[in-house]
Amino acid sequence: MMDMERVNDYMARVSASEHTTFPPADGELKVGLDLGTAYIVLVVLDGADNPVACEKQAASVLRDGVVVDYLGALQIVRELKRRLEQRLGRELERCAIAMPAGTESSARTHQYVAEGAGFEVTAVLDEPTAANAVYQIDNGVVVDIGGGTTGLAVLREGKVVRIEDEPTGGTHLTLVLAGNYHIPFAEAESIKQDYARHKEIFPVVRPVVEKMAAIVKRYVDKTETETLYLCGGTCCLTGIEEVFARETGIRTVKPADPFLVTPAGIAMNCK
């Protein structure tokens, strides 16, 4: 069983590292680059996986986990790297990267972006597996819902036995909000990220959330699965775990800061 208190404490420190630079416990630095559909994130950990610093920026340079604007992605990663190096007073040389499950064919483009920004890529993995570096579960299903996709990794005895991914994510929630309120996409995105309005908007986006849960239900046998572990920016939506639990019939949990779970897990895999 995952220690939720441990995960929540760890993620609180990762989140705080966006505004506070923590001195590393040793000289080694590990970097995780998460090229997301809605955000690009860089997380820096020390050799013992303690959070050191992170930077993120909203972006629309990927679609369903695939880079569609290489130069735009490269520019953002270079800027995030520059900010972190300025904060740390040293160069960041190596990083790990990850892709949504099922989009491994795009790994080369992700790697080109990282290398173009000055990184040596030392590890490539799928996002749900990366997230489990934080969760450390032996049996269960990690569900990573980003801006473009809903991905999952089924774990048995600590090993991934199945990976699936389908193109439904936070961007689809935003599109539904934009249509319902007759507002521009950017304004709808701001409403979606406003926790104070989650109760108001939830009935509007519920059908999309139910579709995400249906994706998981299609691939997961509830008689063999005790718990779903959510992560990804879309899981910040208040109450999303309750819909998943009801639609799948499987206990569903999420940490206090689901957005940075995957980037932190990517960094843990930096060699």
Sheet harboring 159-166: ordered strands across?
Answer: 159-166, 150-156, 140-145, 227-231, 251-253
- pTM score: 0.89
**Rounded-to-5 percentages of helix, strand, coil across the chain:** 45, 25, 30
Please provide residue 21's backbone torsions phi and psi, each rounded to the nearest 5 degrees. Answer: -90, 120
pLDDT in tens, the chain (271 residues): 568 889 999 999 999 999 999 999 878 999 999 998 788 999 999 999 999 999 999 888 877 677 889 899 999 999 999 999 999 999 999 999 998 766 666 788 889 999 999 999 999 998 888 999 999 998 999 999 988 889 898 999 888 889 888 889 999 999 999 999 999 999 999 999 999 999 999 999 999 999 999 999 999 998 989 999 999 999 999 999 999 999 999 999 999 889 999 999 999 999 8
Would you state the pLDDT for residue 241? 97
Sequence-distant (6+) residues with CB within 8 A of 110 are 33, 35, 67, 97, 99, 124
Total residue count of the chain as it appears in this document: 271
Answer positive or negative: Cα dihedral of 108, 111, 115, 117.
positive
pLDDT at 115: 96
CA distance 266 to 43: 8
Residue with tokens 């404490």: 9
For 159, residues 6+ apart whose C-beta sits below 8 A from its C-beta are none
176: tokens are 């539904």
